[in-house]
Structures are given as C-alpha cells and as structure tokens.
Structure 1
Amino acid sequence: MAIQRRGRLRKSLTNPSKYKVVIIVGDDSEEDIVKTVDVSIPTIENQPIPSPNEMTLPLKVTKENGDKKFVFSDLTFSDNAVNFSYPVTSVMKDVNNKQVGEPLTVTLQVEDSRDARVRNVTIREVKPEQFRLRLVVVGDHEDNIVSAEVIFSDYSGPEPIPTELLLTDPIIKDSKKIFKDNTLNFDDPSAAADQIYYLVVDLKDAEGNSLGSTEYTVVVEGLEVEA
C-alpha cells in the first residue's frame, strides 16, 4: 500500500523568489495508484505568507528504488521564508482524484537552496530484524560537517533502540556526504515496518558544535518481498 515517506520545502536555486514543495511516496511502484499529491500550507501569524495555500503536486520522477517524487515549483512567500517552519498536510490522490490512504501532517522547515542540509533520511530493514539508518548531506562546500546526531523525538511504532545515535565517518560521493548506522533496532522489530518516526538531526563540526538541527518524518521501510 502506498505511503508518504517524507516531504521538503526548499528555496529554488535558479529562481530565488520561488520555493519547491517535494513529497516522496513509496510502496506504489507495482500498483501505481498515486498520480498526484494535494498539499496545503497554512498562513501563520508573524511568518511569511505562502501563496498558494493549496496546490497539487504532479509526479516528477520515479526513482530506481520505486519511490515516486512529486514536485510543485511555483510556491512563493511574502518574504524570505528560509528557516521558518510550517505544518504541511499532504493527501495522495488516484487518477480519479480520489483520496488514497490517510492525510499526513508534518512540520517542515524551509531550507535554503545553498546551505548545507540533509537531503533525505531513511530507515530500512536490510535483513530480518536488522535496520540501516541512512542520511545524505549536500551543500557542505566548506567541509564543516563531520558528524550527525540523530534523536528520536516521537514515534507511533515500537520503541527505537537506542533513541539517540551519533553518526560519523561519512562516505563522500559526488559531493554528497552519506552517513550510515547499522546498529539501530526496535523493541519489536517485526512491527517497525511502515511506522512513522520523528527524528531531530543535528549536524556537527569537528569540535562538536551544532551547525543546525531540523526535525524529519521517516517511515520505516520493510524488507522487499520478491514476487
């Protein structure tokens, strides 16, 4: 069944007056039910005003792993919205514009196009009861980021073990820094797949100083079942 894995709000690199809304949908490569994603972003007092408040995201690409990337590139704000946070509600829709699954509301921080940032965070079961936490950092042109502290702030599924991790020694690939951890587990591993976890990722320099933290919503990906 299709699930929403994560979302992002980011300032456009090529057009600084525009922002991108990105929603990643997983587990729909075979059934191919989800055709669009409707997104709503509210107006919040004393914050830049989004326009439009409601939008439909078309499918931009289906990745090699089957994840679908839906993108809206014409969002604007009344002022610079970078580092402001908004509760974003997204609803998957089929070819007849009917709702697929339940709406998901997550708080997303607007990212600058040029700042070092976490591009994505995933938790995937790679073997029975063995999980891999992976995060990808981009934009660290000055090579300041040497580690990432990950804290589970809330969750709907079984308790993660441990609830705090420090990821070090990233792999450098095509200007990206890839942090991995293979020690993560859950108190009931068999029940972790498809559950929602809220993680705070704090990027750190060589002295352990924080370079910025953001909360992410991650849906645990279960083992791939061969047909």
Structure 2
Amino acid sequence: MKTLKLPQSIRLTFAHNANPGEPLTLDEDATGKLGHIPKLLRALIECYGSRLGEPTLWGGDIVMEICSNEDLFDVTESIANELALTAQELEVNAMLTPPLALTQAVKNTHCIDLLRALATTYEKSELTASLNVEGKTIELPHPKLSAFTEPKKPDNEQRHLRVSTIGVCIPRQEANILLLGDLTFLELPTDHYPQGIDDLVEKVVKGSTTFIGPARLVGKNVYRALPGGTLQTQLAL
C-alpha cells in the first residue's frame, strides 16, 4: 500500500486499515461533510495556522503537513510539549475547589480551544490525533471534557421587577404563584411573602396590583421573588 510521505505532519485518524487511493486535498466544502472534524481542523489552524499545510485526506487519515524552516525549527516538539503541558494543567485545575478560570490555570492559553476540540471530537467519534516526525508518532492528548471545569459564573439572572399582576395560579406548598402582565410567572415564597391565597385573589383580581422588588429567573418565564419586595394594590373604585 502506498504511503503519503511527509517529514512532519499532524495526522487525524478516524478509520483504521482504510485503503487509500490518491491523496485528496480537502477544501472547506469537503471538510464540512466530515462530522465533527471541521471544528477540530479549525482549532488546529487557529492555533498553529502559519505552521500547517492544507488538510489532505489519505485513507482513514486527514494529514496536515507541518511546515518547517529556519524560523520554525523544532516546531513539532514545541507543539507536542505545549499541548501535553496544557492538558496536565487543565486536569490539575479541574480538581481545585473552586477551579480557576481556564485562562488563569494554563500557561499556553492558545491551546485551550484546540484541546477542547480534541476532547469533544474524541468523545463523539473516537477520532485520535498524532504528530508524525520522520516515522516517529507522538499521540496528542485528548483530555476528558470534565477537565475544562471553570468556576461557576456569578448569578446574573437577578433583576429588579416592577410589573403588574393579572392572575393567581394554583399555589405550591412553599410558594404562591402569580401570573404577570407580560405572561410570565412569579413565585412568592411564603416564608417572605406570607399573604394567604384569598388575600392575593382579593388584591390581584379585584384590584390593580403591581409587584415591585428583586426576583431571580429560575426557569423559562418563571421568576422567584427574593426578600424585600412588595405588592402595591390600588383597589377598583
């Protein structure tokens, strides 16, 4: 079987023992038909674009030649070391409580998206990537997706509401529920808003009542009132 001889290359293997015909250079339209591979190719190009040749389909592999000159000597070893170190830093960070932001946890931040693409592609299709240098193969890491753990984002779903109420719904054990004028729902925890259901019906149905106060989005079109809000009612004349 003919082999595609490149002195240095990155090889993405998605099928073993495939029988190649002729090398086929892949344009954007062709790579778009290869499932998750385009995202990985884009990540490779964004990370090491100036160093890589065009992706070429050869049997069960996609091969990208690593271009080397006087300015880029030892580039292959540099790529392998950067990715291995970053993968290790990500795994260590994921074990911290709480973990750091990924850009703070690793030295080579440009490797994060590439490693995430390697991890995602491997999990979905078991595609592996390797560096090939003069017949020597260096497997590239594909860390678990859990290695990309970051600290929880601050709760930005809290907001201050000033909204009319138009209906009272069947209550839950720990909260009454109002229908708001924008057709969203507001949960009123009875610990902080102890009004009985009859009192709420009187205010909302027989009067004009507005909720004013802080609330947190807890589901699609559902808010939960936080302590400190009020129900202001103007009774109908």
Coarse TM-score class (shorter-chain normalised) = under 0.3
Which has the higher Rg, Structure 1 or Structure 2? Answer: 2
What TM-score do the two structures reach when normalised by structure 1?
0.19
Quick check: which one's helix share is greater?
A: 2
What TM-score do the two structures reach when normalised by structure 2?
0.18
